[in-house]
Every structure is written in C-alpha cells, then in structure tokens.
A and B are shown apart, each in its own frame.
Chain A
C-alpha cells in the first residue's frame, strides 16, 4: 500500500545531492538506503521543471518517496508500507 502525501518537507542533502535525512511529520528521519532514484521531466510544455525522485528507506524502517522539485525544495510524495 502507498499513501499519497505531496507535502513540502525539509531535507538535508548528502555530498552527491541525494537525501541524507528529512523532517516529517514532526521529526528528523535519517536515510538508511536509497533503493532507487529517477528523474522526470513533467509537463515541459506547461513550464514544469525537471524533478528528481528518490525511493528510500529510513533508519526507522519506513519506505518513502522523496521528490526534489527544485534546488533545495523537497516534497514527500508517498509513504509506502
């Protein structure tokens, strides 16, 4: 099961630009592993910017999909069980 969140979150990036920890909903969650990452161009004809997606597991064991919408701007897209 996956729950759609689409909420802006604070993220601390690692040296390669991938997330190292993120704050949601009320605490910081360290990233344990990046399972997958990909890039989407979106609706370019509507001026939408390119976005990077990271499927990660947190140190607490949760699985999350984080999206970098712009440099320094992150959102939590989904939480996966």
Chain B
C-alpha cells in the first residue's frame, strides 16, 4: 500500500526495492464525463497514472467518449498512451421480459441499480484498438442512443456484431452480463454469455474482467470468473472500476452518487458504494489484490500494447465548398429579400472554380456593392485578409457561412454577425457582418492571424423564431449524416452546487431555495467567499458543520460537467459521416448533438458554425410587421418581401424610406424599413441622453442608463463606446470616469507618446478596446501580430500576475529597443495592465451598437409596436413584462387588458381612435393589447383553438358561447376568466368563475346534442341548439364581484402583471401622507435632497467594483416608472437580506444628480408591507 501513497517518478517505491514500473495499466476508468459517477477529471486521472509510471491508461465513461480529446492531450503531455473506450450498456434481447418491454422508459433507473441476473441491461467495457475501433465505438454509441429512449441508451448485440471490428471488449463490472449471471449462481448461462460475446468480438479480443474492490463476495466472484475463463479458453484482465484518482475523493463521489440517485447522505441506496476502494491504485496495490491471478495483471499490459491512440487531432474534416445544386448561389447585398436566391449571374460558380477563387470573386463583388468603388487601400486590405484566409485553408469555411447567410437573406430571415469576425473586411463584403472594419480601422489580426493559425469563429445572430429554419437549411444542404448540433456540458456552478448538495445534506427546501436564489452567479468554488461576504447568505440556522461540508463539496466539483445539453447555436459540418468522428445522441429538443463541446469538437478537425438565436432580432421583425400593418407572421414573412436584412446604416440624408418622424400617433406605415433607419436621428439621441433606454438592446441596464445621462451621446461612436464601457474590465480599470470627463471636455486629452494619438483618438486617450491593445503593442513595442494577440489574451483572461509581469518585461524591453524611453514604456504598459480583466472587442461592440441604435430608434418612434414585440419575445432583456408595461405607459402608450375577443396570441397593437382615453395620460394612437400568451398555463394549442374559433365565426357573444365553440382545459378557461378576459362579455368575474363548471358541462352537452343531430341527419335542429346569449345578465346579479384587490391578485398570479392598476397604487394614499415620493417626484428632486421612496424591487445586482467593495444597484418600480437606487457596502451589510428577500421596499436616502441622471443613495431600508405602509404616515 505504501506505493499508492508515495509514487515516485522512477516507479520505485520508498521502502521497497521492487521495480513496479510498467507492470499494470488501468483499463476501466471513469472520468468526470461519467456525469455524477466520476469524481476526478480525466487530466487528473492521467497524471496519477503517469506518476505511477504506467505506460497507458484507458478512459471508459458510461456510454460516451466525451473525455477522449482531454485524454489524448493529457496523455501526450505526460508521455503515456491514451486508450479510447467506453462502458457500454448492452441489451440482451433473449432476456427481455414482458415487464421490461412495458417499462422501457424506466430502464435508465434499472440500469443504474443492482439488478437481478436475468435483467436485459448489462455493462460491457469497450476499448478501441485503433482509430477504426474508435469509429466503431462511435457508431455503436450512436445506435445505442438513437434506438433507445433518450435518457436510456443501450446497444443491441446485433449492433455490436455489426461494428465489433478493432475493438477489445472486457466482460465488465458486477453489472456485466457474465458476472451478474455468476453471482446469481447461473454458471452455465454465464459461460454461454461469455462465449457469445467472444464470438462477437473474436476470441482474442474478449477478456473476462476481474475486479476486487474489497466488496463482499468479490473474492468468490473472481474465483468463479477465473474458472469460467478457463473453461471458455478466454483471457483474464484485472481492473479497478476507477471512479476517482485518490482514496480521499471517495466522499465527493459518494455525494455525487446521492445527487444522481436523488437521495440524502442518510439514505441507503444500492448505487452508493460500500467503500472507498474505487480509486486509481498503484501497480503494486493491484498486484497484491490479484496475486492469485498474475495473468490478469499481465494482460493489462498486453492489451495496452495492442492499442494505438484512437484519435488523430491533426485531421481537417470541414467539407470542401460546393455550389448549391444547380450551381446557383446568391448575390451579396444588392439582392433584396424578394429576389435573393433567384437567378443571379454574378454568383454562379464556374465548374471547377477553386474555393479560393470563388471567395475572392464574391469578396470583390461585395466590396463594389458595399463601397461603390474599390480603392487601392480597400484592395490592399482585402488582399491581406484573403491571403491569410487561404493560406490557413479556411476559404471553404467562409464560403459555407456566406452560403448560409445568403439563404437566410433570401428567406427574409433577419441576422447580424457579431464578435471578432466583425474585424474582417471580407466578412463585411460578404455581408456576414454589418461593421465596416476598414472605415473603423479595425485589426484583422484580432480575428485571424498566420501566427495564431486558429480556426476562425464567425458568430451570427438570427432572429430567434427562425434560427431553426436556418439550421434545417444546413442539414438539407450538407446531409443529415454530416451535420449535428454541438453539445454543451452544463457544469457545476455555485447555485447548482448549493441546490444539489444542499439537498444531499438534508437542508430544508426553503433554505436551499433562498440560498440558491440569493447567491450571485459565481463558480462553485467561489461559494465560500460569497457566503462570508454577503449578509443575505448567512444566518439560516443550519448547523455549521453541514455548511462547511456543503462548501467543501461545492469546491470539489467546481466546473465539473453535471449533464449534457445543447449548445445554443453551434453546428458542425463534417466531410465524413459524423458518426465516424463522434457519437451522436438526441437532445431534449429532438435534435442530434455531438458528444464533444465547442472546444473539443474543433480538436477533432471540425469547425463549429455559430448560428445563434437572438430574441431581439425576432422582436425587431415582429415590431416591423406591426409598424407596416402587415400583420405578417413569421411563417409568411418569408414570401412577404418584408425581411431585408443586414443592411448598413442608411445615411441620414437618404432617409426617405425610413420611418416618419414619429410613429406613435399614426396608423400603419407600409414603407417602414428597419435597415434604412437614418443614422443620426436627433430625437433618438435625445432619448439616449435622458437615459430612457428601457427595452433598447444592450443599453437598458441601470448602469447603461446612468452612463447615457452623463455621456451626452450624439454619434454612433458614442454608442459603440457605451457598449464596451459598461463591462467589468473598464469599470474595474477605472476607465469610465476618465472617458466621460474627456468626452464632455471636462478633462484634457493628452498622450504620453504621440504615437498613441491615432490609436486612442476615438476613445479620448482611454484604452477601451482589445484592438487598441494590439495596436499599441505593435506600434510601441514592435510586437508581431501574434505576440500582440498573446498579450491581448493574457490581458483579457488575466489568470496570472506572473504571466502579466513576464509579458510586461518583454513589452518594455522591446519598446526600449525601438527607442522608447523606459519610463514611457512602463507607463504605457500600466495602461494595459489597468485594463486587464475583461477587455472588449471593438468589432463586437460595433456590431452590437448597430442593433442598439436601431432598437433605440424603434423605442423612440414606435414605442407601442416595439414594446409589444419585446413583450411577445419574453424572456429577453433586463426587465420583466410588468416593468416594460410601466415604461410603455410612462411614455404615454395605453395598455389594453386581456380580451377574449381582441387579444391575439402575442401582444399586439391596436389603434385607438377618437378623443383618447379617460384621462389626459391615456393618449390616443397605437395601444398595446395584452396577448393570450401571457396567461399562465395556456398552451399554443389552446390559443390556436381560441383564435380559430374567433376567425371562423363571429366574436364570442358570451362565456357560454365561448365554452360551446372552444374546447380547452377548464383550468385555462378559469384563468382567462379570473384574468379578466371575459370582462367585455361578463363583467362579474366572481359570478363567472363560480358558474364555470356548470356552464362548461352545459356547453359539452350542447356540443354532444349538436353532434348527434348532425349524425342523425337532423341538421336543421342544430340552429336551435345554440347557447343562450343573454345568460350573463342574470349571472351577474347573483353575487358581488371580486374586490379590486382580489382582481389585482388574480391578475398578478395569472398574468404576472395587472393592466388596470399597479401594486403601488394600493399603498399610495398612505405613502403620500407619509411624504414618500413617487418616481416622478424623485426625478424632479434636487441634488442632496433627503427623500423617502418606495416601490417593487427590480433586478438588484452587485457588479464588480474597482475598490472591491460590494455596491448593490437596484431599481424601485412604482406606477409612474423606475427610481434607481445605489446601496453602498455599509448599508448593504445591514440590509442585504431585505434587499434580496423582499418584493417591495421603502428606502430613505439622498438624491444624487449626475449629468441628467437621478438616483437615490440609500441610507436605510425597510420592508414595504401593510404595517410599514401604515408607518409611512
């Protein structure tokens, strides 16, 4: 045992002279990718095996090969051989019982528990002898997933027979077929099972697996297995069914097992292991355990020697670009949504034209369309980029993305490129992005460089409702076998760790909920710090030792994958069938996903296409439809010609086809074109300057609103800077205040070195963008683009001060070599260090700023349409529907209640004619109607039935008429009634709710009678069987209606909002008497004024600060708008639990006016309730 504790590099153990090196290899090892059944990372396990001097290691996770890239890399690092494998669940058809068949969906649970020997599911260890074997394992796993219930993969013996080549199989653990039959005393059947498996894999490729983890009966089982192997003429092999690297990790594994089995530590469950022996033991330990079976030890080496690594990480599997069937492509930007994809000679590709030539031709055509004329400077830049793209061999990738963008445009699907791809002029000319990188002076090397030679990453946002259409196109274009979505591994973070381990430790559910909800989004290993820092996390009454164990367990699994999921937008395309490269499995949303995530999939030679879904773009399209009055839905827009996409900013002078100056009081505007919104709209900038940006993409957070009131934005550049400024890096680097001061002219702009002026001019001498860091490094220190990019990476990730200091010394030395004064060089580098943390890419900021400006324009000129669209696209953005409606009302937009005869599926816009609303605040013009989608529990099918009944006939005349014509669940009808949907037909909600049951019974009877009349040929009777219209008049008189408070509570419960009144209106009389100000009154208060204000708490958050102290920002919402509140550390430590535990607050503080912005600095905080409301008198 001493060898296990004291491994030495030479394989010789302290205290003994025996050479143990290279006499055992672990062939059955579970990593973290066994999801809740592996307590150490693959890298840790490989390092441990290498430290024992083992020449190889196999990783065999449950039904997946997700660890294989990590295994291959780690093994290369440690100089040992990686063996790819899996522990497969196998179904033995012959053993299937009727019960098993009828409980197919329940077998996942069965597969994880100790089962009787006759159970049809068993484990089998598969090892890839070479890359062919790896591909066969991928095929087997794919079939196992695709032919089984989603969470219950199992392979048939038939599939094993079909793909058994180049695979070495071990008979498995106690849950293996052979071992379980022996344990049940069915030796003859076990022998037959072993022979059957040997016939599948080949006699020399199938071994009987012995394990001795000091469990009861293990010795006897091994003796029987050895006897069986002898009888069958099969080899033995020893494994330890490893689930963690060191013995001390057993506790983590046991707790993870409890998470997996939904048990607590005090529960007994057969999945929990009896002891801590499933660790990666040394050769000596394994030798001692299997002293009786030296052959079993020796065979591990023999198997390892037969295996070659399964993965080749140097391959390239992206397909060669081929023109669409028929040789047709589509043009670039000049092709409108109506005619894109139709015959366009300029995009036809001559047969045999190389991809590089096609890319060059399309780029130059696009350049003409974008710039009008290709100047030498433009040509030089495009040549430079094309040279890098083609030298690195990524022309096919660019063309594939271009092809997808073309198709989307031809279908009227709105999209916008984002990320560092916007640094590329080629991407701009191909209309993949909308940022003119040449005009902005953006560095292509931030995106791609010869030195870095990394795979490019072009991210494109598509409108959310049609992103899947784009994905479908890719599947059709390249074939189902060649395309799949990239998986993502949902890893343990702070909240998930607290929830999981809190339950395992038996915390009360209420405590778990409170802890998880109040915990900021931090990694699982930062929970301890959060618990000590945030007052609302403490004082739960839970025993200290349990808290300590919770924190320890959370730290132990930080970043471990918990389960597999689907990447939001990543697709991979492969030249080879994907099942040769990765197993595929079905995701919950019914699409095939890979078993490798976005990082590891590229190591396999594949390139990920990021086709993302952006709800903002969907909301834009919905809003545009409503503005135009087309009422087009996402389904018919493809042919409506409305979907021009990805256009550039229209010049302010050419705004003839953009909007009217103010659409808020007008009817439909069929000529509205989102892509030709004028760039310099004064009214839009005035709105930004007022900080009235709720609903505006990227600019709506309280911090952004506060920035806008001080920045005085008057150009697109200011918006680009805004997007980049409100980030952790600039905030912590103290760049926001100097930027604002210089922007406003309050502070002089100076440069320590004149060479910085052209680089930092656009940001007033402040280092704001990653591109600027690269330019500084190349200009001042003469870094190559690759060196500069390394600096950018070190700076943005900022994982190590030592690394930063190293590169700093390099920077200063090179700058000095170029003649720069050392003090100047050091000062310049200090700018960069100050910026370290979270740098932001200018290209990305510019891409987002484009959408931000346009959505700001929509909010300013079409608030009803845009807010209706944003409300329909929830969840999105920073605010709840309730807050968005408050903001719409504040802007004078009338909000109309749910109405069974007028509400559409989504929020819609109705034009109010006549003299306006009841009060002067209720403006005439476009008004927002609450959509049926807002009703809790309502299904799309129920909405479809309501709308179909309404459209087929006439409006509903009464509640019975509705119940007669629409068959939907009664609880949904009840919700509609309580939410006021029938108010226009039956104003007494209580009476209607009271009678709904009998009314629904009557309606059902009436429908049955009608059906019978139709069936008997007595159609004439049907007309006499209609529901009574005048019904509601006597129902309403039976009982008093709900009170206003009751109606409010029902609406809040069912809709999450109340159209007729705001919660604060109930408090207002008392609050007003107590001198508590409304948000509107706060907006007019003077700087430094002591005030009290109250409202519903909106999005309290604790962004990082330069000082490191905690500052909480929140908004208080009342019936007139929002009041922003700042809570500094001392006040927060006193009232933190109130801020995060109360839906509404009464806050005393002082008014702070900065620029045009107003906020309240909190001094004391109270919970707002009935009692506190009274105390406000």
Interface residue ranges, A against B (CB under 8 Å):
36-41, 43-45, 50, 53
Contact = CB atoms under 8 A, between A and B. Distances in A.
B214 A37 contact: yes
B276 interface: yes
A47 B251 CA distance: 11
Interface string B261-282: 0000100000001111100000
A44 B254 contact: yes
Given A36-B220, A39-B277, A40-B274, A45 B215 contact: no
Contacts of A53: 216
Binding site secondary structure of chain A: strand
The 3 closest A-B pairs by CB, nearest first: A39-B214, A39-B275, A38-B216
Contacts of B217: 36, 38
Nearest to A52: B214
Interface in B227-261: 250-251, 254
Interface string B189-227: 000000000000000000000000011111110000000
B552 to A, nearest CB: 11
B215 A38 contact: yes
Range for the number of chain B residues in contact with chain A: 10 to 19
Interface of B: 214-220, 250-251, 254, 265, 273-277, 505, 549
B251 A38 contact: no
Nearest to B276: A41
B1042 to A, nearest CB: 52
B274 A39 contact: yes
A24 B273 CA distance: 31
Contacts of B254: 41, 44
B265 A38 contact: no
B241 to A, nearest CB: 15
Nearest to A47: B545
Given A36-B220, A39-B214, 12 more contacts: A36-B216, A38-B216, A38-B274, A39-B274, A39-B276, A39-B277, A41-B254, A41-B274, A41-B275, A44-B251, A45-B505, A50-B276
A60 to B, nearest CB: 23
Given A36-B216, A36-B220, A50-B275, A41 B250 contact: yes
Contact of B218 (A38, A43, A45, A50): A38
Contact of B265 (A36, A39, A40, A45): A45
Contacts of B276: 39, 41, 50
A46 B215 CA distance: 22
A38 B214 contact: yes
B507 to A, nearest CB: 13
A11 to B, nearest CB: 19
Contacts of A50: 275-276
Nearest to A34: B219
Contacts of A43: 265
A38 B220 contact: no
B275 A40 contact: yes
Nearest to B251: A44
Contacts of A39: 214-215, 274-277
A31 B250 CA distance: 32
Contacts of A44: 250-251, 254
Contacts of B251: 44-45
A53 B251 CA distance: 20
Most buried by A among B216, B251, B505: B216
B1067 to A, nearest CB: 48
Contacts of B274: 38-41
B182 to A, nearest CB: 15
Contacts of A36: 216-217, 219-220
Contacts of A41: 250, 254, 273-276
A43 to B, nearest CB: 8
B549 A38 contact: no
A43 B275 CA distance: 10
A47 to B, nearest CB: 9
Contacts of A38: 214-218, 274-275
Nearest to B219: A36
A37 B273 CA distance: 16
A15 B277 CA distance: 22
Nearest to A51: B275
25 contacts: A36-B217, A36-B219, A36-B220, A37-B214, A37-B219, A38-B214, A38-B216, A38-B218, A39-B215, A39-B274, A39-B275, A40-B275, A41-B250, A41-B254, A41-B274, A41-B276, A43-B265, A44-B250, A44-B251, A44-B254, A45-B251, A45-B265, A45-B549, A50-B275, A50-B276
Nearest to B255: A45
A43 B276 CA distance: 12
A41 to B, nearest CB: 5
Contacts of B215: 38-39
A62 to B, nearest CB: 19
A43 B274 CA distance: 10
A43 B272 CA distance: 12
B825 to A, nearest CB: 56
Contacts of A45: 251, 265, 505, 549
A45 B216 CA distance: 22
B268 to A, nearest CB: 11
A38 B277 CA distance: 10
B881 to A, nearest CB: 44
Of A40, A45, A50, A53, chain B has the most CB atoms within 10 Å of the CB of A45
Contacts of A40: 274-275
A15 to B, nearest CB: 13
A37 B217 CA distance: 8
A40 to B, nearest CB: 5
Contacts of B214: 37-39
Nearest to B215: A38
B1027 to A, nearest CB: 64
B695 to A, nearest CB: 50
A34 B845 CA distance: 73
Contacts of B273: 41
A20 to B, nearest CB: 18
A62 B276 CA distance: 30
Contacts of B265: 43, 45
B643 to A, nearest CB: 59
